[in-house]
Amino acid sequence: MALTVGMIGCGGISRFHFEGLEQVKARVKWVCDLSEDAARPWAAKFGATYTADYLALVNDPEIGLIIITTISSNHKERLSSAKKRLPRTATMRWRLSAPPSGRERYSTRRT
């Protein structure tokens, strides 16, 4: 059974997440963005439903993973809503600097 996913934010960085979801054969059920033009191509590619209202996605009981790729100032509100339905969450914060090895650094926090 494939993991059912909702994506909030369909800007430039989201393509990396969509590529990963495609590789693991996840079922993308929802794509959400204020820009319908940004979200519609992804909805078409994955056979997903488009919405501009992230709460429609968050409140769908079939969703097992919510990925938030909006601008950082929107993360807290969306993450708080997601955590109410999916209390076990993992967040990841990417840093723009890279260590001498050339690999990007990141930190994760499970709550």
The pTM assigned to this predicted structure is 0.73
Could you tell me where the beta strands, DSSP code E, fall in the chain?
A: 4-8, 27-32, 49-51, 65-68, 90-94, 106-110
pLDDT at 105 over 80: no
pLDDT tops 80 at residue 100: no
Q: How far is CA 33 from CA 17, 25, 55, 105, 110, in A?
A: 15, 22, 12, 27, 25
Q: What is the pLDDT of residues 56-98, one digit of tens each?
A: 988 999 998 888 887 766 666 677 777 777 655 555 554 444 4
* Segment of 23-27, 48-52, 82-86 carrying the highest mean pLDDT: 48-52
Return mean pLDDT, the chain: 78
Rounded average pLDDT over 19-45: 94
Among 70, 74, 95, 22, residue whose Cα is nearest residue 5: 22
Sequence-distant (≥ 6) Cβ neighbours of residue 81 within 8 angstroms: 54, 55, 58
Whether the CB-CB separation of 29 and 3 falls below 8 Å is answered with no
